[in-house]
Amino acid sequence: MDSFDVLVIGGGPGGYVAAIRSAQLGMRTAVVDEWKTENGKPALGGTCLNVGCIPSKALLDSSHHFEFITRHAKAHGIKVGDAHYDLGLMMQRKNKVVQTLTQGIATLFRKHKVEWLQGHARLVGNLQVEIRPHDKDEKQTVSAAHIIIATGSVPGSIPQAPIDQKHIVDSTGALCFSEAPKRLGVIGAGVIGLELGSLWRRLGSEVIVLEALPDFLPSADHDIARAALKTLVQQGLTITLGARVSETQVTGKGVTLHYQQRGEEQDLSVDKIIVAVGRKPYTETLNIEALGIETDAHGFIGVDDYCRTRVPNIYAIGDVVRGPMLAHKAQEEGMAVAEHIAGQASFVDHDTVPWVIYTWPEIAWVGKTEHSLKAAGVEFRSGSFPFLASGRARAMGETEGLVKVIADAKSDRVLGVHIFGANASELIAETVLAMAFEGDSEDIARTIHAHPTLAEALHEAALAAKGRPIHI
């Protein structure tokens, strides 16, 4: 029986990072991964690289370029004729980006001598894992001194809209349309629903988003959510809140969707439906229950602050455990666990994990919101600055949105930062660093920001939190 110091189950962002870091620390490491491409070829990277983060951002970027040319280039003095797009070429570019990155992980594995065991893993006790290879009938059993479960998540579903990947699709199917649907329904106005809805709206679809909750982006800062909702609707998305889907019917012409809103029955006819109701942990076939590893009502594996399960030397990271289901959170947990196994002190602060929604403008935040602090009885001060007053945003023609900085009323420590605007995904990193070092709003306010940049809006918001903004 082959034996390893560390065996990682799952080759997604959390798993492959945990494996590489383990190998860097001198441990013999292997990764068991069952992912196959549409062509039946094994590929590393999990959902994020193959059918999630990377392909969606590739298509979002392509659609963003197209919308700029057709809707915004004229304001910059750029005249374009009858612009059109080739969806097939967009998909080819997307696939090439994915292939390059997944092959890159395989190269990193070879460099660090991480063994890639292709097939499905099942825990069988005594720190042993049974592997059913892709290309063989017989099973293989390996052992490890430490096991890291990093099997990720799968798209959520609802019985009212059974997914057939033809008329009713999940997020994976929504990245593979052969043409833009004339009329597209999206169930769920969360991260995935807004991103996919924006993508296909830019490419010509009439997009109707149905959200069961009465509030838009309730986890985000309320000022940010209100500004984002206004802008997304102005762009052309129809967003219906408080809409609970009761039934869907596939017809010869598309799909009829029935939903309730304010006690009234409503119907919606569309060509296709994207079900974007979140994701759920993927643990069903691991046999973890037989080992005494507990899961909660939502399927998340119970772990402590160091990602240890109840079973000694078995860890779990990423989407299968508590905390946000984000690739970068999984990566940090993977590194932390590898370092913990090696005897190093390592810890992930979940309070400084940034969130990003890749609409345009983008939405990003880290830390606490005003409404959560009010509910907890924490005294705070906040300062906001609109991109409308930013010189760089004016020059770019990207004046939508704002930055908000929230600080403790007594200590001035930064408690949260919220951004709706161009490149928010990049701007948020500065504030994550500030919070990681327990920085104050005064620290940001006294940090020199280059002019003209979008980052100056953050500087001004920090000044506003201290009551002394300059440019507004």
**Active-site amino acid positions:** 451
Which of 98, 67, 109, 72 has the alpha carbon at shortest distance from 85? Answer: 67
CB 434 within 8 A of CB 458: no
**Residue 372 to residue 416: CA distance in whole angstroms:** 11
**Residue 419 to residue 384: CA distance in whole angstroms:** 10
| Residue the block writes with tokens 């953050």 | 458
Q: Mention every residue, 6+ apart, whose C-beta is less than 8 A from residue 351.
A: 367, 435
Task: For residue 364, report the phi and psi dihedrals to the nearest 5 degrees.
Answer: -145, 145
CB 195 within 8 A of CB 357: yes
Q: What dihedral do alpha carbons 333, 336, 341, 346 form, nearest 10°?
A: -140
